[in-house]
Amino acid sequence: MISYFSENIKIPTISRRKTSAWIRLVASRYNRKIGEIAYIFCDDKKILQINSQYLKHNYYTDIITFDYSENNTVSGDIFVSVSTVESNSKKFGVSLDEELHRVIIHGILHLCGQNDKTPEEQAQMRTEEDEALKSRLCD
């Protein structure tokens, strides 16, 4: 089950049904099933608090993924700072919709075992995001 929540902001306008189907499709490419996934859309203040409290990082980020996956079933809480996603969309010259969906799938890719710590992993993650975005069902 994939759930969408918000904290301190309005949930972004996305088709939950199509986005959830797309997420399942991408996870299936990694031979994964969807368990319990919760997207929590929040503001920068909340993401900074989570980053500081749980990861000991004192900076803003667009996404934080908590992985509760077991075996081939992906589960987790995915916090998305919509403010940072919006800033990044302007910085990278892409639409807010595209950047938001890139971040949404980024969290799923982490749950499917993709990492982005090294430059090589970051490049691979970007390739995986691009491939996933190509298969997205339009909202």
**What burial letters (b/e) apply to 40-74, b meaning 16+ CB within 10 Å?**
bbbbbebbbebbeeeeeeeeebbbbbbeebeeeeb
Q: What is the pLDDT of residues 36-73, one digit of tens each?
A: 999 999 999 999 999 998 888 888 899 999 999 999 99
* Predicted local distance difference test score (pLDDT) of residue 56: 85
Q: What is the pLDDT of residues 80-99, one digit of tens each?
A: 999 999 999 999 999 999 99
User: How do the domains of the chain map onto residue ranges?
Assistant: 2-134
**What burial letters (b/e) apply to 85-120, b meaning 16+ CB within 10 Å?**
beebbeeeeeeeeebbbbbbbbbbbbbbebebeeee
Contact 81, 7 (CB under 8 A): no
CATH of domain 2-134: 3.40.390.30
